[in-house]
């Protein structure tokens, strides 16, 4: 007696049609998920960019439109009078470019010095084992937990004792102290991710420690340097409390301090405030556009011998 024939496994499970249906459902789910996440991303982007858009739009509005009871998102009669007040005028008898130069000096100095110190310290922490290494890392986290406002008076007394009050150098030291702990902690991960085999290969090829550091380690850690430099730049560029507390000479004031001259008891000059804020934002964007290119190129540079 012949045994009954069984349908092939493909047919029992729905055959090609069933597989096609499952593939179609899976594709629709992926498409729906992609649309959902993209929509959330667009909403977050709009919420984040709207204050910046409104700031820039208000900077080009005449006073009649700024104080209108029915505000409009875009100026109907754009004007540059507020920018002219900021750039060509003087605030507290000091030109805008003087404030700009002071802020640029502090920001760039903070980026360069903190980046160098953090890179050297992060390399030591990631590559060497020494006593109190874990304690040092924990202290870096603890330092980040302390509110900066709580340090105003202690740092004021320290700078006064060191005769560094009303000094750009004293303020630069304070900014570097704020940026270095965060930079060390972030760069430590980038240094630790670099395979030791690359350094050993460079040593076999005859490269010394210094050449290995600059030709192998530095290009691979470049993305971390970019991230920390952006943080350091923004920290020094936008800082107000310490600069306003430690500086007493108007010729040494920074751009954030300049803004407070437009706030008064009789009213606020919103046009110049928005124009100055827009000008204050542009250098940060330019700095990011300059360094962000290194973030991608630094991921692979130095890993291949050329």
Report the 10 Å Cβ neighbour count for 280.
21
Q: What is the pLDDT of residue 242?
A: 94
Q: Where are the alpha helices (DSSP H) in the chain?
A: 9-12, 15-59, 63-66, 81-87, 96-127, 133-145, 152-161, 168-193, 196-204, 209-212, 218-238, 241-246, 255-259, 270-297
Q: What is the pLDDT of residue 298?
A: 45
Q: How confident is residue 6, by pLDDT bands cut at 50, 70 and 90?
A: low
Q: Is 175 exposed, middle or buried (0-12, 13-18, 19+ CB in 10 A)?
A: buried
Angle at 113 between CA 142 and CA 157, to 5 degrees: 55
Query: What residues contact residue 19 under an 8 Å CB cut-off, 6+ apart?
Result: 13
Give the DSSP per-residue string, 222-246.
Answer: HHHHHHHHHHHHHHHHH--HHHHHH
Rounded distance, CA 78 to CA 73, Å?
12
Rounded distance, CA 144 to CA 65, Å?
43
Average pLDDT of the residues in 215-241: 86
Rounded distance, CA 123 to CA 126, Å?
5
Query: What residues contact residue 15 under an 8 Å CB cut-off, 6+ apart?
Result: none
Go through 45-75 and write b for each residue having 16 or more CB atoms within 10 A of its CB, e for each that does not.
Answer: eeeeeeeeeebebbbbbbeebbeeeeeeeee
Report the 10 Å Cβ neighbour count for 212.
19
Q: How confident is residue 3, by pLDDT bands cut at 50, 70 and 90?
A: low
Average pLDDT of the residues in 162-191: 90
Which range, 35-44, 196-205, 206-215, 293-302, is most confident?
A: 35-44
Query: Distances from the Cα of 244 to the Cαs of 26, 71, 105, 108, 144, in angstroms?
Result: 59, 33, 16, 19, 22
Q: What is the pLDDT of residue 20?
A: 64
Nearest residue to 187 (alpha-carbon basis) of 227, 224, 223, 219: 224
Q: What is the pLDDT of residue 303?
A: 44
Instruction: Say what percent of the chain tops pLDDT 90.
Output: 34
Rounded distance, CA 271 to CA 36, Å?
39
Query: What residues contact residue 16 under an 8 Å CB cut-off, 6+ apart?
Result: 10
For the stretch 206-224, pLDDT in tens is 888 788 888 888 888 888 8
Inter-residue contact 264 to 188 (CB < 8 Å): no
Q: What is the pLDDT of residue 59?
A: 92
Calculate the average pLDDT of the chain. 83
For the stretch 268-303, pLDDT in tens is 888 889 999 999 999 888 888 887 766 555 444 444
Q: What is the pLDDT of residue 302?
A: 41
Query: What residues contact residue 45 under an 8 Å CB cut-off, 6+ apart?
Result: none
Please check the confidence at residue 306 and state whether its pLDDT lies above 50: no
For the stretch 67-118, pLDDT in tens is 888 888 899 889 999 999 888 877 778 888 999 999 999 999 999 999 999 9
Q: How confident is residue 21, by pLDDT bands cut at 50, 70 and 90?
A: low
């Amino acid at each position: 007696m012949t045994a009954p024939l069984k349908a092939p496994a493909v047919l029992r499970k729905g055959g090609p049609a069933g597989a096609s249906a499952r593939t179609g459902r899976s594709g629709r789910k992926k498409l729906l998920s992609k649309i959902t996440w993209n929509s959330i991303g667009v909403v977050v982007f709009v919420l984040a960019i709207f204050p910046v858009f409104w700031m820039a739009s208000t900077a080009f509005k005449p006073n009649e439109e700024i104080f209108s009871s029915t505000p409009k998102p875009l100026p109907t009669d754009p004007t540059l009078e507020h920018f002219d007040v900021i750039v060509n005028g003087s605030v507290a008898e000091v030109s805008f470019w003087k404030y700009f130069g002071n802020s640029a000096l502090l920001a760039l100095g903070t980026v360069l010095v903190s980046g160098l110190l953090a890179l050297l310290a992060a390399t030591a922490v990631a590559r060497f084992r020494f006593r109190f290494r874990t304690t040092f890392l924990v202290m870096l986290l603890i330092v980040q937990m302390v509110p900066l406002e709580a340090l105003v008076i202690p740092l004021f007394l320290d700078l006064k004792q060191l005769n560094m009050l009303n000094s750009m150098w004293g303020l630069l030291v304070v900014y570097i102290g704020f940026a270095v702990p965060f930079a060390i902690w972030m760069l430590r991960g980038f240094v630790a991710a670099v395979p030791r085999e690359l350094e050993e290969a460079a040593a076999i090829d005859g490269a010394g420690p210094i050449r290995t550091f600059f030709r192998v380690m530095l290009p691979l850690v470049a993305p971390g340097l970019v991230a920390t430099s952006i943080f350091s730049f923004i920290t020094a560029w936008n800082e107000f409390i310490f600069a306003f507390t430690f500086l007493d000479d108007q010729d040494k004031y920074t751009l954030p301090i300049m803004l407070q001259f437009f706030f008064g008891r009789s009213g606020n000059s919103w046009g110049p405030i928005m124009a100055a804020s827009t000008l204050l934002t542009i250098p940060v964007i330019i700095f990011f556009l300059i360094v962000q290119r290194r973030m991608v190129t630094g991921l692979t540079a130095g890993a291949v011998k050329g």
